[in-house]
Amino acid sequence: MHVVITGAAGFLGQKLARKLLSGEALTAPGGVKREVLKLTLFDVGTPAADIVQDKRVTAVTGDIGDGAVVRRLIAGDVASVFHFAAVVSAGAEADFDLGMRVNLDGTRHVLEACRALKAPPRVVFTSSAAVYGGDMPKVIADDTPLTPQTSYGAQKAIGEFMVNDMSRKGFIDGRALRLPTIVVRPGKPNKAASTWASSIIREPLQGDDVVCPVDPSVAMYVLSPRRVVEAFVHAHELPAAKLGFNRALFLPGITVSVKEMLDALKRAGGQKAVDRVKFVPDAMIRKIVAGWPPRFDAVRARALGFKADDNYDQIVQAFMQDDLRRNAA
Amino acid sequence: MHVVITGAAGFLGQKLARKLLSGEALTAPGGVKREVLKLTLFDVGTPAADIVQDKRVTAVTGDIGDGAVVRRLIAGDVASVFHFAAVVSAGAEADFDLGMRVNLDGTRHVLEACRALKAPPRVVFTSSAAVYGGDMPKVIADDTPLTPQTSYGAQKAIGEFMVNDMSRKGFIDGRALRLPTIVVRPGKPNKAASTWASSIIREPLQGDDVVCPVDPSVAMYVLSPRRVVEAFVHAHELPAAKLGFNRALFLPGITVSVKEMLDALKRAGGQKAVDRVKFVPDAMIRKIVAGWPPRFDAVRARALGFKADDNYDQIVQAFMQDDLRRNAA
């Protein structure tokens, strides 16, 4: 079957691409499980060479905000779409119009192109915990209302409403996953306000010093790249009837404080790794992170078979096995 | 000051226009209360002659889904906008693309045109109880999550997220009101699934027979045209600080069963009026109406000074005073 991943040059897109190319079978429209024989990877940039060189892969660069581009991308025999392309939180806040173009219009273009296919395809849309904010309960539950306090969060919430309504209409068979903070990300620190949550593990284990801008008491709701890629596939494979009307859910994660993260870093890399972390408070980052809900009770997602990591040590080990080698090489 | 009403040929738009033309003063950007000296009325059709003939009024016909049209409409000295233009529930369900074009794109065009004005204008957006649906608590509360089960409801929910986010950014000073079912509407029955709630009072009082498609036990959450027009002005006048981040709220109404409606009809028009109502069940209408939440606890709106009608007799009397005359003339 032919699968499209948007935002495929991002680290999650690339990890999903590798998983699908490893022989993963997905359910095609009609209910038959088929191997992924054609994989179209769309992004503004190009995924890693080892992915693009695969004979099943076509890499397409373009602007997700351009409807004509998306209609050409999602056409013909496309059977499933993983839609990850997005302008991240800080970017959508700095440039409102860009966020609306990519996060709202881009998502709408994807869903409309899916609707135009012969059979309604399964669509996995990445939403975010940024749909929550402001006055929240101490623990986010499945029925907590969406109260985004960023343009990114608002655009993701709008995307969820479109996925739900177009699924209800039978135009698509959508699934929207609100992701915890994904740690430990490979690569380099980026401009996300959460980037330190990966950096404080990754950089010391790679032998570099790193600054932590928040207090040791700060807690994050996190999930590993391994588990979230499994969740993308699991979400795709869930029968629509099990989801019912509401196609959006937040994924199970674990809540970990910075202190607990550094304790795990010590177990993995010793005191010399921990000594590479310097606490330099950043008022802006602290304020943004304080607005994120650290605790969720993912009753619905767990009942649907989604799984969190067992503990933070497991997350660190997965990073060392999957990504530390690659970066060090 | 210069005010724009979109959807101004609708019955609520016309009632608001008459109220503003009666000498109502509104708060302009900067905080000064000013009389409405220019009133631009936008719709696909034209409002009633008595409104359009007023020297302060300019009637403009056009398509709210056309961004260029909306940018010309909301420009220059426009200080406030009441955005009512919409494709109604049944229409948006029958024609998904039209609903998206009018209800989503139209709202976005209005908000973007407002953002382009010199000072962020107050914008009153009409949302709907249709943002709720499916599995709901018995009484809708301020923190009940939005779960629309119609494209209309989804598009209104999306409009609310845009109003909230663009208000947070300081682009506009928005307010979104979720309306109860407005009764008693003047005019003729339309295609709304709720049209009977007005018809079973209006038609008998005007001497016509009428069919009621639902059981006497069915309850509706209702508000009179008088009170909702007061609510539009009150919402406009509320200081932004009193609303805080969440600019959307549902209005106080009263919950009335069909039996109670007919009891009030009898008190207003005698047994001969009630005898004009024939019960002819309509499975489709019953199903749609059964999906509407009949009970709301409008704590936030009441605290902000919004008012429901005292009772259903008052609603019937208001109709007889305001609209029965006009139709009978």
Q: Are B154 and A144 a contacting pair at CB < 8 A?
A: no
Q: Give me the domain span that covers residue B131.
A: 2-179+223-250
Q: Are B245 and A147 a contacting pair at CB < 8 A?
A: yes
Nearest Cβ partner of B161 from A143, A154, A245?
A: A154
B312 assigned to active site: no
Tell me if A9 is assigned to some domain.
Answer: yes
In tens, the pLDDT along A211-234 reads 999 999 999 999 999 999 999 999
Output the pLDDT for position A328: 47
With an 8 Å Cβ cutoff, is B46 touching chain A?
A: no
Rounded to whole angstroms, the Cα distance separating A24 from A36 reads 7
- How many CB atoms are closer than 10 A to CB A216? 14
A271 within 8 A of A55, measured Cβ to Cβ: no
Nearest chain A residue to B163 by CA distance is A154
- Residue of B89, B132, B150, B165 to mutate, testing the A interface (most A Cβ within 10 Å of its Cβ): B165
Q: Which residues of chain B make contact with A96, given a CB cutoff of 8 A?
A: 169, 171
| Same-domain status, B149 and B212 | no
Structure tokens at A291: 């607005």
Q: Which residues of chain A make contact with B145, given a CB cutoff of 8 A?
A: 143-146
Contacts by residues A103-106 (CB-CB < 8 Å, ≥ 24 positions apart): A103/A152, A103/A155, A103/A156, A103/A159, A104/A155, A104/A158, A104/A159, A105/A65, A105/A67, A106/A6, A106/A64, A106/A65, A106/A70
Q: Which residue has the tokens 């936030």?
A: B300
The answer on pLDDT for A11 being more than 60 is yes
Tell me if B55 is assigned to some domain.
Answer: yes
The answer on pLDDT for A49 being more than 70 is yes
How many domains in chain A? 2
Tell me if B324 is assigned to some domain.
Answer: yes
Output the pLDDT for position B302: 98
The answer on pLDDT for A329 being more than 60 is no
A113 within 8 A of A71, measured Cβ to Cβ: yes
In tens, the pLDDT along B241-253 reads 999 999 999 999 9
| Same-domain status, A155 and A288 | no
- Residue of A158, A172, A247 to mutate, testing the B interface (most B Cβ within 10 Å of its Cβ): A158
Nearest chain B residue to A94 by CA distance is B169
Question: How far apart are the CA of A20 and the nearest CA of chain B, in angstroms?
Answer: 33
Output the pLDDT for position A190: 82
| Same-domain status, A36 and A59 | yes
Q: Are B151 and A165 a contacting pair at CB < 8 A?
A: yes
B296 secondary structure, DSSP code: B
For residue B329, the Cα-to-chain-centroid distance in whole angstroms is 26
Tell me if A302 is assigned to some domain.
Answer: no
Q: What is the 3-state secondary structure (H, E, C) of chain A?
A: CEEEEECCCCHHHHHHHHHHHCCCEEECCCCCEEECCEEEEEECCCCCHHHHCCCCEEEEECCCCCHHHHHHHCCCCEEEEEECCCCCHHHHHHCHHHHHHHHHHHHHHHHHHHHCCCCCCEEEEEEEHHHCCCCCCCCECCCCCCCCCCHHHHHHHHHHHHHHHHHHCCCCEEEEEEECEECCCCCCCCCCCCHHHHHHHHHHHCCCCEEECCCCCCEEEEECHHHHHHHHHHHHHCCHHHHCCCCEEECCCEEEEHHHHHHHHHHHHHHHHHCCEEECCCHHHHHHHHCCCCCECCHHHHHCCCCCCCCHHHHHHHHHHHHHHHHHC
B76 secondary structure, DSSP code: T
Tell me if B300 is assigned to some domain.
Answer: no
Output the pLDDT for position B328: 46
Question: How far apart are the CA of B292 and the nearest CA of chain A, in angstroms?
Answer: 16
With an 8 Å Cβ cutoff, is A151 touching chain B?
A: yes
| Same-domain status, B78 and B200 | no
Give the CATH number, domain containing residue B95. 3.40.50.720
B217 secondary structure, DSSP code: T
| Same-domain status, B155 and B284 | no
| Same-domain status, B8 and B31 | yes
Q: Are B148 and A165 a contacting pair at CB < 8 A?
A: yes
Q: Are B154 and A161 a contacting pair at CB < 8 A?
A: yes
Output the pLDDT for position A291: 82
Q: Are B245 and A134 a contacting pair at CB < 8 A?
A: yes
Closest CA to A289 of A267, A258, A312, A248: A258
Tell me if B138 is assigned to some domain.
Answer: yes
Angle at which helices B195-205 and B258-274 cross, to 10°: 20
Q: Which of A138-142, A198-202, A292-296, A324-328 has the lowest mean pLDDT?
A: A324-328
pLDDT less than 70: residues of chain B: 325-329
| Same-domain status, B156 and B75 | yes
Q: Are A151 and B165 a contacting pair at CB < 8 A?
A: yes
In tens, the pLDDT along A311-321 reads 999 999 999 99
- Return the higher-pLDDT residue of A291 and B316: B316
Tell me if A299 is assigned to some domain.
Answer: no
Q: Which residues of chain A make contact with B154, given a CB cutoff of 8 A?
A: 161-162, 164-165
Nearest chain A residue to B154 by CA distance is A161
Q: Which of A132, A152, A221, A312 is catalytic?
A: A152
pLDDT band at A326; cut points 50, 70, 90: low
With an 8 Å Cβ cutoff, is B147 touching chain A?
A: yes
Q: Which residue has the tokens 């022989």?
A: A23
Closest CA to B80 of B162, B16, B157, B131: B16
Nearest Cβ partner of A154 from B151, B154, B164?
A: B164
| Same-domain status, B36 and B153 | yes
Rounded to whole angstroms, the Cα distance separating B43 from B46 reads 7
> Which backbone phi and psi does B140 adopt, to 5 degrees?
-75, 130
| Same-domain status, A35 and A119 | yes
Output the pLDDT for position A111: 98
Rounded to whole angstroms, the Cα distance separating B324 from B203 reads 10
- Sign, CA torsion B246/B247/B248/B251: positive
| Same-domain status, A143 and A32 | yes
| Same-domain status, B235 and B268 | no
B57 within 8 A of B4, measured Cβ to Cβ: no
Structure tokens at B143: 């923190």
Average pLDDT for residues A94-103, to the nearest whole number?
A: 97
With an 8 Å Cβ cutoff, is B96 touching chain A?
A: yes
| Same-domain status, A115 and A55 | yes
- Sign, CA torsion B277/B282/B283/B288: negative
The answer on pLDDT for A207 being more than 50 is yes
Output the pLDDT for position A192: 81
Give the CATH number, domain containing residue A264. 3.90.25.10
Q: Which residues of chain B make contact with A165, given a CB cutoff of 8 A?
A: 148, 151, 154
With an 8 Å Cβ cutoff, is B103 touching chain A?
A: no
Q: Are A144 and B145 a contacting pair at CB < 8 A?
A: yes
Tell me if A305 is assigned to some domain.
Answer: no
